[in-house]
Structure 1
């Protein structure tokens, strides 16, 4: 019984990893230098935010209508609150008006910077689905990437 369950769990994990890899294959490559992609965006608080990382940074792309984004954004908030050595910025894309992004931020009580994205940012970062995220190191190089739901522990482990 335990052996059968272990085999099923291992098969499930293998399939999950394969699907995750396939979904992320169209994203920018790990080890990509993002220094040529210096976008400065306006946040929901009216401040400017640069997408150039000066230390470990999670750059999280979401759409306000995305149900998976609503489910996973709490995990990003937890990472931000618990890990002062990791910067977090979320970028809203595919919205009709800024109020959609503002409502998303308010409904989840987000305390990290959330910026209004653009088609240029979406294209430059090869965002094809939501949520998508990249983890950048202090040299602004991609060290990890993912698309779809990410748990708090998954986000944290990818950011190590």
Structure 2
């Protein structure tokens, strides 16, 4: 009887060891892909570009006006499936008080009509950016995120899907 239990335990341990190896390999590959995706974004520790946006009423807004508070810039596109999946997470973060969430929409997308179609999907602050702003922030894919500290320094940048927990951690620490 003990031999059967030992055999079962050995097989179970072997199974778990294989799954753990697979999980570690998956996490390494996922991390590498994530790093590669965002390699072109502005690096941490660099001053955020001095750029101007417009709000939905056409008023100019300078990024410097947001100094004194931590800001999450969320570059978004309406045709982006990942953006549609991550927007509820961004909206959840916008309801917190530790970071100002700014949704940035390209002028190429006719922002007013895009936002009118689903106004509940966006944070309270929506800004419109032209191609010069996208170039200044090295936005080549969507969604792109920048966490900018109170002094206007890029804390971190990342690209692609992120969970609520991922957004919270990236804007807290």
TM, length-normalised to structure 1: 0.87
CA deviations over 1:6-34 (Å, ceiling 9, x no partner):
22111111101101101111111111112
The reply to whether residue 102 of structure 1 matches residue 132 of structure 2 is no
Cα gap change, 1:14 to 1:125, in 2 (>3 Å): same
Answer yes or no: is 1:116 the counterpart of 2:136.
no
**Offset of 1:85 from its aligned partner?**
1.6
Decide whether aligned partners of structure 1 residues 91 and 157 sit closer, same or farther in structure 2, where only a CA change above 3 A counts: same
* Cα distance in 2 for residues equivalent to 1:104 and 1:39: 27
Q: After the TM superposition, which residues 137-152 of structure 1 pair with which residues of structure 2 at under 5 Å, given as runs?
A: 137-152=149-164
Change over 3 Å in CA distance of 1:47–1:3 after alignment to 2: farther
Q: 2:78 aligns with which of 44, 50, 64?
A: 64
Which among 74, 90, 95 is matched to residue 88 of structure 2?
74
Cα distance in 1 for partners of 2:117, 2:60 equals 19
2:33 to 19, 22, 34: 19
5+ residue gaps, structure 2, are 1-14
1:9 maps onto 2:23 in alignment: yes
Query: Take 2:164 and 2:116, find their aligned partners in 1: how far apart are those partners?
Result: 23
Contact 1:64 1:101 in 2 (8 A): yes
For the pair shown, the structure with the greater C-alpha radius of gyration is 2
- Looking at structure 2, the residues matched to 104 and 145 of structure 1 have their Cα atoms a distance apart, in angstroms, of 28
- Helix, strand or coil for the counterpart of 2:108? coil
Give deviations 1:68-118, integer Å, cap 9, x for gaps. Answer: 11110111111111x20211101012634233432365152x242111111
Q: Is the Cα–Cα contact under 8 Å of residues 64 and 95 in structure 1 kept in the other structure?
A: no
Query: How far has the Cα of 1:47 moved from its partner?
Result: 5.5
